Amino acid sequence: MDPATSHESRATGIAESPHKGKTGFQRIWNAFFYSLEGLATAFRHEDAFRQEVFFAALLVPAAFFMPASGIGKALMVASVLLVLIVELFNAAIEATIDRISLEQHPLAKRAKDIGSAAVFLSLLNVPAVWLLVLFG
């Protein structure tokens, strides 16, 4: 196996992406900019993500003014950021399914519904955490 031309894992023999060639600081640097591009893309194309960013822009600063301990404030902020993270995963799942096929399929519906349910649970988590921190 020629390491210069092969993109197979030596341990498994499974082909990997030819784009995974960067290592060290260059990989970290590239990943940083890919992440920023992902956030910008989600903001540009996903209505739900934009709405959740708006609420996060209100709730995250508000958490710092609440009568809670440092850990409580951290939990409050984390609960809000979790919504954004889960929404990003949901958007990625939906985009992948739509890339594969726009045809109506029970498995595509199942995957999209499950992603939506994950977002819903993360949204329910926000008031639960905030109420527990503030009044629990």
Q: What's the pTM value of the predicted model, to 2 decimals?
A: 0.84
Q: How far is CA 13 from the centre of its chain?
A: 30
Residues facing residue 8 across a β-bridge: 15
pLDDT of residue 19: 67
- What does the angle CA 100 – CA 82 – CA 16 come to, to the nearest 5 degrees? 40
pLDDT of residue 11: 67
The tens digit of pLDDT for each residue in 8-50 reads 556 676 777 776 777 889 999 999 999 999 999 999 999 999 9
Average pLDDT over residues 119-127: 98
The tens digit of pLDDT for each residue in 49-104 reads 999 999 999 999 999 999 999 999 999 999 999 999 999 999 999 999 999 999 99
Which one of 37, 87, 94, 103 is the catalytic residue?
87
pLDDT of residue 17: 74
**What residues contact residue 118 under an 8 Å CB cut-off, 6+ apart?**
86, 89, 90
Active site residue 87: yes
Whether residue 3 has pLDDT greater than 90: no
Which residue segments constitute the domains of the chain, with CATH numbers given? 1-41 (no CATH), 46-135 (1.10.287.3610)
CB 67 within 8 A of CB 134: yes
Instruction: For residue 15, give the 3-state DSSP assignment.
Output: strand
Reference 88, options 24, 33, 41, 19; nearest CA is: 41
